[in-house]
Amino acid sequence: MLRISDRTRNLGTENAFVVLKEVNELYKKGKDIINFCIGQPDFDTPEYIKQGAVKAIKDGKTGYTESSGIPPLREAIAAYLSKTREIDVKPSSVVVANGAKPFIGYAILSVTDYGEGQEVLYPNPGFPIYESQIRAHGAIPLSLNLRERKRYSFEIDELERKISEKTRLLILNSPHNPTGGVLGRDDLEQIADVVKRYEDLWVLSDEVYSRMVHDGEFASISSLPGMQERTVILDGASKTYAMTGWRIGFASNEKLASYLATWVTNTDSCAGHPNQYAALAALTGPQDESKRMMLSFKRRRDLIVKGLNEIEGLRCISPGGAFYAWPSVTEACRLVGAEDSEDFRKRLLYDAGVAVLSDIHFGQRIKGEGQHIRFSYATSEENIREGLRRIGDYIKGNKRT
């Protein structure tokens, strides 16, 4: 019998797309759904960025490029990272790919060896592709549990307990998906102090929401003394410039850049040529529209957090960044007799017409942390208000007596 590999059959996925399939099936049946499950800006890509791609196409920029990306874009990225991270980033340390996501796998592949028992630490809850890529590439995943009392950071003593001589990579994500948590400089300094004790330990710092810090300033672990050389900075154009479908991400690390580029050669050859010119236009053009988007997300954050906390059975701390809210629904589950957050999530979709994700879509539930669901508030204020109204009405109408 023709066999599918265990690695492929057990490969994880991004459940936002699984739920989106459910939503689309309901749309086809004429159902009215307020969708909070997909994390992408609801804005159109700014016109000047589109025109950058149009010009590139008309100028014949449609062939292969260097696997690491076109030099003008790498220069612009280096300047951008140098300014926003307050470090010196050289263009030679920058690599461009078809989105930021491939660099998760490339980084794991670059610093771990298959089947050698080497470990990768990652946040839980967290972006599900972290764990799936760790497993697929033959490393051992070890989760770091994010705590509400820490505003969704992990305990430093847990990091110290779980880290060992076999640990090769620590994945950080700030601002964080799915909780919206932000690692402040004090948190990063404590993490860096632990990391620097281990000679062979790298950091992958996923900073794709770096421009979406709603309170205070963004901080990168790469800016701390001794950390740039061992940190792979990961960012991209998708969230900041409403360019999710353009698939342009980038990473920077001086020592690993050539190896990351070789992985690009082995997989995609290069990022889309005209799309790279669109990203160049994004980084070097006017930033007004991007700033307006970021301010809009902050207004929406304030609106949804206030609204969630006004609904019986829900409790939500204010996320410091990104465009996600992570309310506790433990009491709401009890009120309506839902078995858990996934049961509650399904009830909201099929009975209330509201699409969200549950905590099990982002890892393992943490003992003592309760039940949670995730909202992406990258949607209109009108949709936020209507979605909250539907949830409130559903709980009121289905409370057990």
Each domain of the chain, given as residue ranges in start order, spans: 6-44+289-397, 48-284
Q: Nearest Cα to 106, choosing from 116, 92, 95, 90?
A: 95
34 has which bridge partners? 354
Specify the CATH architecture of the domain 48-284: 3-Layer(aba) Sandwich (3.40)
DSSP 8-state secondary structure symbol assigned to residue 60: T
| Dist. CA 342–CA 324, nearest whole Å | 18
The three-class DSSP label of residue 172 is: strand
The three-class DSSP label of residue 202 is: strand
The chain-wide mean pLDDT, for the chain, equals 96
Whether 12 shows a pLDDT value over 90: the answer reads no
Handedness of CA 58, 60, 62, 68 (dihedral sign): negative
Q: What is the pLDDT of residue 401?
A: 64
Query: Residue 82 carries which side chain, given as an amino acid letter?
Result: S
Are residues 395 and 155 in contact, defined by beta-carbon separation less than 8 angstroms? no
pLDDT digits (tens, 9 = 90+) for 335-363: 999 999 999 999 999 999 999 999 999 99
Kindly state the tokens that stand for 221. Answer: 């672990």
- pLDDT category at 264 given cuts 50, 70, 90 is very high
Domain 6-44+289-397 has CATH 3.90.1150.10: yes
Are residues 268 and 248 in contact, defined by beta-carbon separation less than 8 angstroms? no
DSSP percent split of the chain into helix, strand, coil, nearest 5: 45, 15, 40
Q: What is the pLDDT of residue 19?
A: 83
pLDDT digits (tens, 9 = 90+) for 33-82: 999 998 889 999 999 999 999 999 999 999 999 999 999 999 999 999 99
Kindly state the tokens that stand for 145. Answer: 């549990």
Q: What is the pLDDT of residue 17?
A: 78
| Dist. CA 60–CA 387, nearest whole Å | 46
Q: Is the pTM of this model over 0.75?
A: yes
